[in-house]
Amino acid sequence: MIHLSRVPLLLYSYLATEMLAPFFASFLIMNCVFFLVKLIPFLNFVLELNIGLTDFIRLFSYLFPNMFLYSIPMAAMIGITIGFSRLANDSEILALKASGISMYRILPPVVTIAALIALLTSYFSIVLIPVSEVAMKQLTYQLLKEKIDKGIQEHQFTEALGDLVVYVGSIEKETGEWKDVWVSDMRGQVIPTITMASTGVMKSDIDKMKVTIILRNGSLHRSDRPNSQVVQFSNYQLNIPLQPPANSATAFNRGTLTMPELLQKGREFGGVSTEKGRVLIIEYHKRLVLPAGCLILCLMGLPLGLQAGPRRRAVGIPFALAIFILYYMLFTFAKMVAKENTVPILVAMWSPNLLFLLLALFFIRQVTNEQPLVPESLQNAVRVLLKKIFVPAFSKLQKSLLAIFERLRPHRLQANIQAIPEELGVRPLSGDARQRIFHFSECKDYACQHCSLEFKNVEVALEAGFLPCDFCKTLVDRYCHTPSPS
């Protein structure tokens, strides 16, 4: 009879604790950083609308789902890497191996934690982000409309509508209808269009994010042409879009659409054959790709953390940061390729996940077999490549930069050369064309075998791009700093 081994709950709970503790710490730190980054543009919007503390907290809370979509995967990867780095540094991983526990027995808690974090990320990506974007849109509209309502008062000119200046003679308290209305419209023109009406009213449309001023029984005056124009009307509408300040943290877009709506709108715009359709379909795949990427990055934290040891540096943490940045660079590049429609959207968007999944499985296999993450053959190939190509290329670049620097130095030496006494500055010089240096007659290298050139004076040598040798530099400095006889 085969006895199935029991699940080592004590071991798994211990490993989960070691991973979750640094995860929550990393999550808190990263969200504080993201908070500060988002706070500056957000404050501009808050100060412009002059909103209260409650609305400020509500507005900012709607930004968290978008922040968590990036901070959770990063914190999870760093947390798992730190957890296993500590276990490796304290020789606990070595003790587990000595007890007969292989790396494959350690994988279940890692996979479980990674799957739970990925599910949490997918909940933010698929559900909470559209909900928060819609709530942001509604609250932003409400705040903008309140600003307009507070700004429009009887017998006052209001500039709450941007390029529209409105004056209202009186406002009916019960119906909100305006009387004796005057409007100056400066939108897209130098000379304003003046509109006067007996009555008016303002209506709002939250779906289209605009307010409409309906004027009745009035006249419109235009004077931006050679002949002024007066138009009488019985009913006239002014549409005013309500948009948050440009580049503000509350700008809303396709993020308000749910997953089915993204596919539906994408088909309505022509699918992959049109740019708008591609953008919506890319957004659909993005909400699925990032949670899956979170799972893969978490799995990669295990082999990276095991690179530490009692006598080894914890190189896994900087490697984890580098891999995280590389993943999002490839993800951004994949979005660009998908948007250009050079590669099918499905292939382009999911290729980074496939690549990093293969890399994670390879890393796990390497640490399980107690082999380095990068095979020795590949390391040797990289060393040879660096030695034969990059090192010589870097040396040539360094020499070129030094040569350019040396050619620029005569301009800085010109002041010293001009201060040289006449008996030193006008005497002949010998020049070494190979090293592009010159020598005074006092120098031992004045008649060297490579000195095939002769210059009339120092000025000519400098203009030719030649510099004094080390001894002649000291000679120049000595003459320049020697006080002249009184």
Task: Count the domains in the chain.
Answer: 3
Residues 261 and 362 in one domain: yes
Residues 102 and 56 in one domain: yes
d(CA 427, CA 214): 92
Per-block mean pLDDT, blocks of 10 residues, the chain (486 long): 60 90 92 83 72 80 88 92 88 83 86 94 92 84 74 75 79 81 80 84 74 84 73 83 52 73 85 85 92 93 84 80 92 91 89 94 88 75 73 72 60 49 64 84 82 80 81 71 48
CB distance 274 to 54 below 8 Å: no
> Would residue 1 count as lying in a domain?
no
Residues 268 and 169 in one domain: no
Cα 169 to Cα 5, 237, 322, distances in angstroms: 86, 19, 64
Residues 75 and 95 in one domain: yes
Q: Which residues pair with residue 146 across a beta bridge?
A: none
> Would residue 193 count as lying in a domain?
yes
SS3 of 185, please?
Answer: strand
Q: What is the pLDDT of residue 258?
A: 84
Domain that holds residue 447: 403-481
Q: What is the pLDDT of residue 1?
A: 40
CA angle 114, 119, 120 (to 5 degrees): 100
Q: Which residues pair with residue 432 across a beta bridge?
A: 437
Question: Both tokens of residue 329?
Answer: 């660079």
Residues 103 and 236 in one domain: no
User: How many beta carbons lie within 10 A of that of residue 297, not counting itself?
Assistant: 28
SS3 of 190, please?
Answer: coil
Closest Cα partner for 251 from 287, 217, 200, 209? Answer: 209
Q: What is the pLDDT of residue 402?
A: 67
d(CA 252, CA 259): 16
Residue 154 DSSP one-character state: B
Residues 65 and 164 in one domain: no
> Would residue 15 count as lying in a domain?
yes
Residues 164 and 292 in one domain: no
Cα 43 to Cα 37, 55, 257, 312, distances in angstroms: 11, 12, 26, 46
Q: What is the pLDDT of residue 426?
A: 60
Residues 236 and 259 in one domain: no
Residue 229 DSSP one-character state: E
Residues 261 and 131 in one domain: yes
Residues 126 and 32 in one domain: yes
> Would residue 205 count as lying in a domain?
yes
* Boundary of a domain, candidates 241, 264, 279: 241
> Would residue 462 count as lying in a domain?
yes
Backbone φ/ψ region at 465: left (φ over 0), alpha (ψ -120 to 50), beta: left
> Would residue 316 count as lying in a domain?
yes
Q: What is the pLDDT of residue 246?
A: 44
> Would residue 445 count as lying in a domain?
yes
Residues 411 and 469 in one domain: yes
The single-letter code of the amino acid at 213 is: I
CATH number reported for the structural domain that contains residue 410 in this entry: 3.40.10
Residues 414 and 450 in one domain: yes
> Would residue 147 count as lying in a domain?
no
Q: What is the pLDDT of residue 349?
A: 92
The answer to pTM > 0.85 is: no
* Boundary of a domain, candidates 241, 272, 293: 241
d(CA 258, CA 129): 9
d(CA 469, CA 471): 6
* Boundary of a domain, candidates 191, 206, 241: 241
